[in-house]
Amino acid sequence: MDSVRYAEQLRFMHNSGFGFGDLVGSFFADRGSYQDLYQPLVTFLVSRVTDETWLLFGAFGILLGYVYSRNVWFLIEKLPRRPGLTIWVLVLAFAFAVGIGVSLNGVRMWTALHVFIFGVLYFSDTKQPKYLLIALLSPLIHFSFVIPCGLLIAFLFVKRFGLAIYIFFVVSFFIAAIDVAVVRSAAEYLPLTMGERATSGYIDQADDYGMAGGADGQRAWFLVLNSTLVSVFVFLAATWLFYRKAHQRTGPTGFLLLFGMLVYGSINLVTHIPSAGRFFNIGEMLMIAALVLFLAGQPRVKKLDFLLANAALPLLGIDIALGIRFFFEFASVWLMAGNFFIAPFVNADVGLYELIKSLR
């Protein structure tokens, strides 16, 4: 897993005489070891003190924990006094779309995602430039976020063309269904480091947990089914919200709906490039957030809105179940029985998921 590699880097930096000059040199060397600043810099700073991995991931958890909790709390603060089960299930789906355990394991990619989502959510609500800047700084955590950042900048110029964005979103699903050689070769035009990563491909979350399938390289059937069901949910939610003219609202609902469609549609166009599918999580989370905010606006919500939302919720069932399963994969028994202060003094090498499986 990614976290094992980060732990090895920490021990190497601490025990090998690795200095600040070596770190700087690794950023600028041809085909250097690092394309991002955040993870290697934090790892280096911790390595000056210790090679204990719990302290490294505690340091990673400060930023990740803050933006992750703020993202979930952003929706909770917008809820009515009695939100009902439908909205709570959607908030749960938002929280587990990229859960805290998975995020801490793949700290570069998923911290960047939550930082980007944080900036977008709060910029959509307050229009304060500092939140836009936060979103645009996400490539410092993972270089590939130049793509969603580019889409965000472009969106600021085209957001008034709501109908065009929706048409683009719909058409992108048809294009995604066609395995076009031109799309596959698009990775060749990416910058060197991005092109190498894209053509070689990232190891998906499912691969990390032994769910990638057999020797033929096919993903497990429920992962393929989940991907399809989530896409259907996003399409239906966006279409209904657009029909209900949610995109015309001046607050965060319209902003998140339109930007979510632009992101999802854009990733549909490059879905055949390895690892590009990870950015679907951004579109999914923005669409769920837009739906939650729409349903939370009680004066304008009709009974039919909730009926249709309830009918669509089963489409997120596998996604929520996988999110909870991956959460238990990384959480230990000390999540239930311990606290931050005793964490450094206990051995937490067995996940709750493995513990539950052993009790069967």
User: Confidence class of residue 189 from pLDDT cuts 50, 70 and 90?
Assistant: low
Domain boundaries, the chain: 1-51, 143-358
Greater pLDDT, 73 or 82: 73
User: Confidence class of residue 4 from pLDDT cuts 50, 70 and 90?
Assistant: confident
pLDDT at 208 over 50: no
In the prediction, which pLDDT does 341 show? 75
pLDDT at 246 over 80: yes
In angstroms, the Cα distances linking 33 to 9, 30, 193 are 11, 9, 10
In the prediction, which pLDDT does 28 show? 62
pLDDT at 199 over 70: no
pLDDT at 195 over 80: no
User: Confidence class of residue 357 from pLDDT cuts 50, 70 and 90?
Assistant: confident
In the prediction, which pLDDT does 218 show? 63
Nearest to 274 by CA among 189, 163, 183: 183
How many helices (DSSP H) and strands (DSSP E) are in the chain?
20, 0
Nearest to 147 by CA among 156, 139, 155: 139
Joined together, the tokens standing for residue 78 give 């917008």
In the prediction, which pLDDT does 179 show? 57
| 228 Cβ contact partners less than 8 Å away, ≥ 6 residues apart | none
C-alpha–C-alpha distance, residues 207 and 278, integer Å? 13
The average pLDDT across 154-174 equals: 94
Q: Per residue in 252-291, pLDDT tens?
A: 999 999 999 999 999 998 877 767 788 999 999 999 999 9
In the prediction, which pLDDT does 205 show? 47
DSSP 3-state percent helix, strand, coil across the chain (nearest 5): 75, 0, 25
C-alpha–C-alpha distance, residues 292 and 342, integer Å? 37
pLDDT at 315 over 90: yes
C-alpha–C-alpha distance, residues 360 and 50, integer Å? 39
C-alpha–C-alpha distance, residues 291 and 284, integer Å? 11
| 3 Cβ contact partners less than 8 Å away, ≥ 6 residues apart | 57, 104, 105, 106, 107
Joined together, the tokens standing for residue 179 give 């395995």
pLDDT at 304 over 50: yes
pLDDT at 20 over 90: no
User: Confidence class of residue 23 from pLDDT cuts 50, 70 and 90?
Assistant: confident
Helix 53-77 and helix 84-97, axial crossing angle in degrees, nearest 10: 150
C-alpha–C-alpha distance, residues 141 and 323, integer Å? 23
The average pLDDT across 32-38 equals: 71
pTM of this prediction exceeds 0.85:
yes
C-alpha–C-alpha distance, residues 360 and 345, integer Å? 29
User: Residue 29 carries which side chain, given as an amino acid letter?
Assistant: A
Greater pLDDT, 294 or 175: 294
Q: For 43, how many CA atoms within 13 A lie in the half-sphere containing its CB?
A: 25
Minimum mean pLDDT among 62-66, 181-185, 272-276: which range?
Answer: 181-185
CB contact at 8 A, 63 and 115: yes
Q: Cα-flanking dihedrals φ and ψ of residue 180, to 5°?
A: -95, 130
pLDDT at 346 over 80: no
The average pLDDT across 63-69 equals: 94
C-alpha–C-alpha distance, residues 64 and 76, integer Å? 18
Nearest to 186 by CA among 174, 178, 195, 177: 195
Q: Per residue in 95-131, pLDDT tens?
A: 999 988 888 888 999 999 999 999 999 999 999 999 9
C-alpha–C-alpha distance, residues 77 and 85, integer Å? 16
Residue with tokens 């789906």: 93
- Portion of the chain with pLDDT greater than 90, in percent: 47
Instruction: List the alpha helices (DSSP H) in 201-332.
Output: 205-208, 221-243, 252-269, 280-296, 303-312, 317-330
In the prediction, which pLDDT does 184 show? 52
pLDDT at 92 over 80: yes
pLDDT at 193 over 70: no
In the prediction, which pLDDT does 198 show? 37
In angstroms, the Cα distances linking 141 to 40, 109, 154, 313 are 10, 7, 21, 33
C-alpha–C-alpha distance, residues 213 and 223, integer Å? 10
Nearest to 28 by CA among 11, 40, 16: 40
Q: Per residue in 93-103, pLDDT tens?
A: 999 999 888 88
Joined together, the tokens standing for residue 224 give 């393929």
Helix 252-269 and helix 107-126, axial crossing angle in degrees, nearest 10: 140
In the prediction, which pLDDT does 217 show? 53
pLDDT at 168 over 90: yes
User: Confidence class of residue 180 from pLDDT cuts 50, 70 and 90?
Assistant: low
Q: What is the mean pLDDT of the chain?
A: 83
